[in-house]
Amino acid sequence: MTDLSTTIADRTFSNCMMNAAGVRCADENDLNQLIASPAGAYVTKSATPNVREGNPEPRMKSLPGGCINSMGLPNHGLDYYLDFVLKDQAARPDKTNLLSIAGTTLEDNLAMLHKVADSDFNGFVELNLSCPNVPGKPQVGYDFDRVREILTQVFAFYDKPLGVKLPPYFDLVHFDQIAAVLNDFPLTFVNSINSVGNGLVIDPNAERVAIKLGGLGGIGGTFIKPTALANVRGLSLRLKPEIAIIGTGGVMNGTDVFEHILCGASMVQVGTQFGFEGTRIFKRLSKELSAIMAAKGYQSIDDFKGKLKTFDD
Ligand code: RRO
């Protein structure tokens, strides 16, 4: 029997797979479907303080094996998601879930975190520092001094479990720089990676961009797996062991989950393909990962987590 459970800090999750923020998690109906699925946890759509419409449509385009989006943070506002997770927590006190927060300013993030701090919520907050789709608002995760400033202000008062959602990094110096910042804070986890920002998808027949906002948006799906794995591995080698890693990006099948865990992920999130398949994907991925583990004689994910070999080993 293979055991797909995982642990982050002092919390155990019955399954190491869950949804990625943004995909099919924006309302109660979506979230209740996740609760009813084999996913080990859910994360709510990134919240802003108030309801937000997001960017003009079309703002998402499916591609073979992936997608591009310029959603622009459409969400029901923090109160809606906080209310949902609090009710769920009361009904299922043994479960830990993630509340995603993505203020477009530091003040908004601090105000939301004060509200969460003052509530009974005892799950994980995922602070999104990497939304690529808010015009005029750069992805904070690329400004290392700003990340330090934000985390300094957050941890001055917030003392419940908190992690950050990071953008992909592409240069090893940037891995060193972000890790040096993150290691100075009592983070519970980092989630790597968000969509790969500002790709351009074109409809060649129409000779036009595929989505609004000039056609630019975050790319997800198979194209981004090598970037995601490099980031999970790169952070795993650099972060202090108390900071767990959630691996996200390019997960289509059980092998992809296996590879994320080999690179050091304790939990794996599924975005694009979850959007295509819905919650039944968690049963399929669980079956596929279990089969890989059984064939290799692994009983638990700790048997291979972070144990990627190189030619130097
Ligand atoms: O809503 C979005 O446009 C969005 C967000 Br907040 C994010 O973090 N990542 C993404 O690809 N889209």
Distance 294 CA to ligand 1 centre (A): 36
Distance 171 CA to ligand 1 centre (A): 22
CATH number belonging to domain 6-54+72-196+220-303: 3.20.20.70
Which residues, 6 or more positions from 187, have their beta carbon under 8 angstroms from its beta carbon? 151, 162, 163, 164, 243
Helix (H) or strand (E) holding 221: strand 216-221
272 in contact with ligand 1, CB cutoff 6 A: no
C-alpha 309/C-alpha 214 separation (Å) is: 42
**Distance set, CA 157 to CA 110, 111, 126, 160 (Å):** 9, 11, 16, 9
221 in contact with ligand 1, CB cutoff 6 A: no
23 in contact with ligand 1, CB cutoff 6 A: no
Mutate to test the pocket of ligand 1, among 57, 71, 101, 211 (most ligand atoms within 8 A of CB): 71
Phi, psi (5° rounding) for residue 62?
-80, 145
pLDDT along the chain (313 residues), means of 10: 96 98 98 98 98 98 97 98 98 98 97 98 98 92 98 98 98 98 99 97 97 97 98 98 99 99 99 98 98 98 98 93
Q: Which atom of ligand 1 is nearest to the CA of 71?
A: 3
Radius of gyration (C-alpha) of the chain in whole angstroms: 18
128 in contact with ligand 1, CB cutoff 6 A: yes
218 in contact with ligand 1, CB cutoff 6 A: yes
pLDDT value for 63 = 96
Report how far Cα 217 is from the mean position of its chain's Cα atoms.
17
- The residues that bridge with 52 in the sheet, in sequence order, are 75
19 in contact with ligand 1, CB cutoff 6 A: no
75 in contact with ligand 1, CB cutoff 6 A: no
pLDDT value for 110 = 98
Domain ranges (residues) in the chain: 6-54+72-196+220-303
Phi, psi (5° rounding) for residue 112?
-65, -40
Phi, psi (5° rounding) for residue 244?
-75, 160
Q: Which of 16, 25, 67, 131 is catalytic?
A: 131
Q: Which atom of ligand 1 is nearest to the CA of 220?
A: 11
pLDDT value for 1 = 80
181 in contact with ligand 1, CB cutoff 6 A: no
pLDDT value for 257 = 99
102 in contact with ligand 1, CB cutoff 6 A: yes
Distance 45 CA to ligand 1 centre (A): 9
Distance 242 CA to ligand 1 centre (A): 27
Q: Is 131 designated active site?
A: yes
Distance 299 CA to ligand 1 centre (A): 35
pLDDT value for 78 = 99
Distance 165 CA to ligand 1 centre (A): 11
Name the residue among 6, 26, 2 with its Cα closest to residue 16. Answer: 6
Quick check: bond before 58 cis, omega within 30? Answer: yes
Mutate to test the pocket of ligand 1, among 61, 68, 73 (most ligand atoms within 8 A of CB): 73
pLDDT value for 241 = 98
pLDDT value for 127 = 98
- Terminus-to-terminus CA distance in the chain, angstroms? 30
Which residues, 6 or more positions from 284, have their beta carbon under 8 angstroms from its beta carbon? 253, 254, 277
Which pairing describes strands 124-128 and 162-166: parallel, antiparallel, or unpaired? parallel
